[in-house]
Amino acid sequence: MEKVLVTGGNGFIGNHLVNQLLSMGIKVLVLDKSIYKPTYYNIKRAEFIEGDVLSQELLHQCLQQVDTCFHLAAIASGLCP
């Protein structure tokens, strides 16, 4: 079964993408800095990792587990100093 990484999967667009992928029966690995639990966090095909895409080691570990990556992580306007 295909497994997909979605960076920024807890954001507005990422959340919709993750839900669509899950509805298609695809396993999803989400990498996001957000401390809020996503709506899909207790779905067995979804795995949530709290972390930063700027961490090369963490990103490398995540990419080794998946077939495809959707990179949606970004700095949201007004949220960074």
**What CATH number is associated with residue 24?**
3.40.50.720
What band does 1 get if pLDDT is binned at 50, 70 and 90? confident
Q: What is the pLDDT of residue 79?
A: 59
Asked if 8 and 59 count as a contact pair (C-beta separation under 8 A), the reply is no
Q: Is the pLDDT assigned to residue 78 strictly greater than 90?
A: no
Tally of domains in the chain: 1
- Total-model pTM: 0.85
Does 76 map to a domain?
Answer: no
Convert the pLDDT of each residue in 20-57 to its tens digit: 999 999 999 999 998 676 666 557 788 989 999 999 99
50 belongs to a structural domain: yes
End-to-end CA distance of the chain: 41
Q: Backbone dihedral region of 25: left (phi > 0), alpha (psi from -120 to 50 degrees) or beta?
A: left
Indicate whether 11 belongs to any domain.
Answer: yes
Expressed as residue numbers, the domain containing 51 is 3-71
In the prediction, which pLDDT does 44 show? 76
Q: Is residue 7 part of a domain?
A: yes
Q: Considering the domain boundaries, does residue 78 fall inside one?
A: no
Q: Is position 31 within any domain?
A: yes
* pLDDT, mean of residues 4-30: 93
